[in-house]
Structure 1
Amino acid sequence: MTAIPPKPPPAGSGGFGPAAFQLVLLRRMADFQPDLAERARLRLGASLADQRQANKRWQAMVRSPRSRGTLARYRSVLGPPESTGPRRIGDLECEALLWPVPLWPDLRFEVLAGPDGAVWNEWLVRAPGAPGPVLEGAEDLRPWSATVDEVARAFAPVRPMEGTAPTRWRLAFTASGTPLVAEFTYGLLQEVRPGAA
């Protein structure tokens, strides 16, 4: 991670902007990597109280009966996307919207939206043109080093598994003859553990 200026000025929905959104991401990642998440929070110049407040406000926005929809919420909080473009998934067409995430300069927060504006997926992906990690064995799978797509490509074939929460994904695969399960939060690798043989 590169140096980040402390306490970026608030932006977005009522002062809830990209800095607060990153605190929400870190809150979920702390379930797996509390030390990494704490160091990242401090780099943002935020206290635990700031993080709790950001998460509380995010949950209120998500659960509000007056919510304008998931895509509108992301636009309100993160501002205009850095880029948008069509994406094809099987026979389906969608729009991919990308926002920068200062904590991870080589990543982008990606939202895939259907023709009706419904959000199909929301997670971290490698930024266009940014070099991805070299993943040759289980020892290369370090926390926060890779995205779901990168692990899936490097260790194909993989078997997607149901995550333990809405923001989590899991992949089962074999590396060097060893069955493994990779856990992801918001699409970013958190941990790898032994899988069922």
Structure 2
Amino acid sequence: MTATASGAFGRDAFQLVLLRRMADFCPDLADQARGRLGASLADQREANKRWQAMVRSPRSRGALARYRSVLGPAERTEPRTIGDLSCEAHLWPLSLWPSLRFEVLAAPDGAVWNEWLVRAPGLPGPVLAGPADLRPWEATVDEVARAFAPVRPMEGTAPTRWRLAFTGAGGADGAYVAEFTYGLLQRVERTAPPHP
């Protein structure tokens, strides 16, 4: 297993780090995914410990270089413009989520602005006609934001988490908050009842 102390820290170990945070919301899905990697809970703890050590190391090479060292060369790199800012999007495939890519948005100086899971270019996302279509691990932040626009971004409960507030069918279905970890939907909670 790549998460052991003697092995190289690679994609499988990195996926264990993502799963550790997702297990806070969806422990059953995270356990099944960990099993597909052939990893134990001890492997997952070790992977997280090693990742945190890399992130906090005073000799750290910077976030983008760290991702490259762990995930290898990006499958795809493309320029992006967000408002007035120019950056590069680096995308890597991960075996647990074959229809998604781990995307890192980096400034020209290599500083990382955002890192999360997005739909792989050219692949269709889920059909999201209403809140009932929102299932854990099936939609990304961007897909939910488009399907239920306008949405209101809310502060997440941790650095790797995002939340979106929205109403279903113009309020007729009530108000909701969708929670994401690393950009992937974890749960949806109704916060207000439907309009009569």
* TM-score > 0.5, shorter chain as reference: yes
Residue 179 (1) aligns with residue 175 (2): yes
Correspondent of 1:129 among 119, 122, 126: 122
SS at structure 1 position matched to 2:132 = helix
1:142 to 135, 148, 160: 135
Equivalence for 1:155 = 148
Counterparts of 1:60 and 1:115, CA distance in 2? 26
Residue of structure 1 equivalent to 2:81: 88
Matches within 5 A, 1:22-171: 22-171=15-164
Alignment deviations for residues 10-66 of structure 1 (CA, whole Å, 9 cap, x no partner): 8xxx60000000000000000000000000000100000000000000000011111
Question: Structure 1 CA distance, aligned partners of 2:75 and 2:58?
Answer: 29
Q: CA RMSD in A?
A: 1.3
1:4 is aligned to none
Separation (CA, whole Å) in 2 of partners of 1:25 and 1:45: 15
Alpha-carbon distance in 1 for matches of 2:164, 2:58: 34
Structure 2 CA distance for aligned equivalents of residues 172 and 17 of structure 1: 35
TM-score for the superposition, normalised by structure 1: 0.92
Give the aligned residue type for 1:188: L
Aligned pairs, how many? 187
**In the alignment, which residue of structure 1 is the partner of 2:186?**
190
1:118-146: CA deviation from partner (whole Å, max 9, x where unpaired): 00000000000111000011110000010
1:29 aligned partner, one-letter code: M
Runs of 4+ that moved beyond 4 A: none
TM-score with structure 2 setting the length? 0.93
CA apart distance, 1:196: 5.3
Which residue of structure 2 lines up, in the alignment, with residue 3 of structure 1?
none
Indicate the SS of the match to 1:81.
coil
What does the per-residue CA deviation read over 1:80-115, in whole Å, with 9 as the maximum and x for residues that have no partner? 000101001011110000000110000000000011
Alignment partners' CA distance in 2, 1:73 and 1:187: 19
Q: Give me the identity figure in percent.
A: 80
Question: Structure 2: 5+ residue runs without aligned partners?
Answer: none
Cα drift, residue 148 of structure 1 = 0.1
Between the aligned partners of 1:71 and 1:60, the Cα distance in structure 2 is 16
Structure 1, gaps ≥5 residues long: 1-6
